[in-house]
Amino acid sequence: MSFMSVVSNLPYEWLVGLRYTRAGKRGGRNRFISFIAAISMAGIALGVAALIVVLSVMNGFEKEVTNRMLSVLAHVELFDLRGQMPDWRQQALEARKNPAVTGVAPFAEAQGMLVRGDVLKPAIIRGVLPEMESQVSDVIKQMRQGSFSALTPGSDNIVLGIELARLLDVKPGEKVTLALADGQPTTAGVMPRMHTFHVVGIFEAGHNQFDSTLAFVHLADAESILKIDAPAGLRLRVADMQQAPQVARALKMAMPGQLYVRDWTMLNATWFAAVQSQKHMMFIILTMIVAVAAFNLVSTLVMTVTDKQADIAILRTLGASPFSIMQIFMIQGALVGIAGTAIGVALGSLLALNVDVIVPAIEQLLGMKFLSKDIYFISALPSDLRWGDVLSIGAVSVLLAFVATLYPSWRAARVKPAQALRYE
């Protein structure tokens, strides 16, 4: 069946609506009305494209930061409420019974100040077993200098984040001092406990928060610093990080002992809540732009109704119902809205899929950097186009365009044939 035969079989409301949509080819006032309709279509397209690109960048930002966080953080952490876990090997075997768990490693953490010369920086000192750490994090792959395997028991060796090393101005082979607050009381007050470490490596997670605050030592050295005889708990990696909350709940119910269980979403709950709130606000704000463009259709259709009053009157005298007249102008407005939405979806998707090429080109052209590594978690603008978002944006845009057609269409249906033809 040919396209023309399909068109010829359409109801007359569709035929007239299509004809009015293409009225710009006839010149004069019709061409001006068509120009206004084209502006409305372009406005819808730009609004939809902007919404898709912005949400894709925010999705990409969230995904990239989450991946970099979880290259250092565990998906699930188990703590013994007694402060240490002497039976950690048995607990690790119990955790492994859950099919979702792919890796387990013990750990202990201390917070203090790293000191070199007159520079003091807050740091989290994480004690790990180097031979097991690769099961729960990617830090071994992220080594930039030195070797992670140099962390041996009793060696007092330490691996620093790249920003922390830069701030302390320290390199592998040099020393740093750890100051802990729980020192001995003296007549001058409580003096911090001091412990000297040898820097044997530098890692880069790509996340400024961890690169500037995190350091690794051997688990035995961490236990010595904390004055405990066993790890503080276990760090776990699961096959699907999105299932970590469910796995955490299952482990808490299944494993023996008094355990506190938390997953990665709890560790950064405030950050993730802020990102979701920003995404919702950006969706609402940019939808307003689409709404403004969609409601430009109101003026376009009102002008069309005014210009086509004679046509409306003739159709009414030939037996067309008021609802049929409404349909004609609703079809015209909806076609403009659908066309604008389709163009916007195509343009927005194209831009979102090529942000990694477009943004560096603009940065090079302008000679500036949009994201500073010292301020933001990441220094490159990522993008994650999600077709569910594209579908939602397209549906909202078409709906707004449809709503914009209701008043002009209703006004067209109220045109009285006798009055419209009086001066024709």
List pLDDT tens digits, range 158-208.
999 999 999 999 999 999 999 887 766 555 556 778 889 999 999 998 888
Residue 319 backbone class (left: φ over 0; alpha: ψ -120 to 50; beta: rest): left
Whole-number pLDDT of residue 3 = 43
Domain match, 365 and 403 both: yes
Rounded CA-CA distance 44/294 in Å is 6
Domain match, 15 and 93 both: no
Residue 90 maps to a domain = yes
Residue 266 maps to a domain = no
**Consecutive H or E run containing 398:** helix 387-404
Domain match, 48 and 115 both: no
> CB within 8 A of 356, min separation 6: which ones?
380, 381, 382, 383
49 and 348 Cβ atoms separated by less than 8 Å: yes
Q: Domain ends where: 229, 257, 285?
A: 257
* 3-state secondary structure at position 242: helix
β-bridge partners, 161: 203
β-bridge partners, 112: 123
Quote the number of domains for the chain: 2
The token pair that represents 22 in the structure block: 């293409």
DSSP letter (8 states) at residue 338: H
Residue 76 maps to a domain = no
How high does pLDDT run on average in the chain?
A: 82
What phi and psi, each to the nearest 5 degrees, are found at residue 177? -115, 135
At residue 264, does pLDDT exceed 90? Answer: no
Residue 72 maps to a domain = no
Domain match, 382 and 415 both: yes
Q: Domain ends where: 211, 232, 257?
A: 257
Q: Helical H runs in 155-239?
A: 162-168, 208-211, 219-226
Range name among 104-108, 139-143, 285-289, 338-342 with the lowest pLDDT average: 285-289
Given the structure tokens 């010149």, which residue do they identify? 27
Residue 320 maps to a domain = yes
279 and 55 Cβ atoms separated by less than 8 Å: yes
Domain match, 130 and 191 both: yes
Residue 77 maps to a domain = no
Domain match, 249 and 344 both: no
Q: How many residues does the chain have?
A: 424
Domain match, 198 and 297 both: no
Whole-number pLDDT of residue 27 = 46
Domain match, 48 and 179 both: no
At residue 220, does pLDDT exceed 70? Answer: yes
Domain holding 94, by residue range, is 82-257
Domain match, 232 and 180 both: yes
Rounded CA-CA distance 113/181 in Å is 9
- Tally of CB atoms within 10 A around 38: 15
At residue 257, does pLDDT exceed 50? Answer: yes
Nearest residue to 130 (alpha-carbon basis) of 110, 107, 146, 164: 107
Give the helix, strand, coil percentages of the chain, each rounded to 5. Answer: 55, 20, 25
Domain match, 212 and 185 both: yes
> CB within 8 A of 256, min separation 6: which ones?
91, 94
Whole-number pLDDT of residue 184 = 61
Domain match, 161 and 200 both: yes
Whole-number pLDDT of residue 285 = 83
The token pair that represents 41 in the structure block: 């279509």
At residue 260, does pLDDT exceed 70? Answer: yes
Domain match, 104 and 231 both: yes
Residue 92 maps to a domain = yes
Banded pLDDT at 6 (limits 50, 70, 90)? very low
Angle between helix 355-366 and helix 28-70 axes, rounded to 10 deg: 100
Q: Domain ends where: 230, 257, 284?
A: 257
Nearest residue to 304 (alpha-carbon basis) of 388, 378, 411: 411
Residue 371 maps to a domain = yes
Banded pLDDT at 151 (limits 50, 70, 90)? very high
At residue 18, does pLDDT exceed 90? Answer: no
List pLDDT tens digits, range 268-307.
777 777 777 888 888 888 888 888 877 777 877 887 777 7
Instruction: Report, as an integer, the average pLDDT of 35-59.
Output: 87
Banded pLDDT at 423 (limits 50, 70, 90)? low
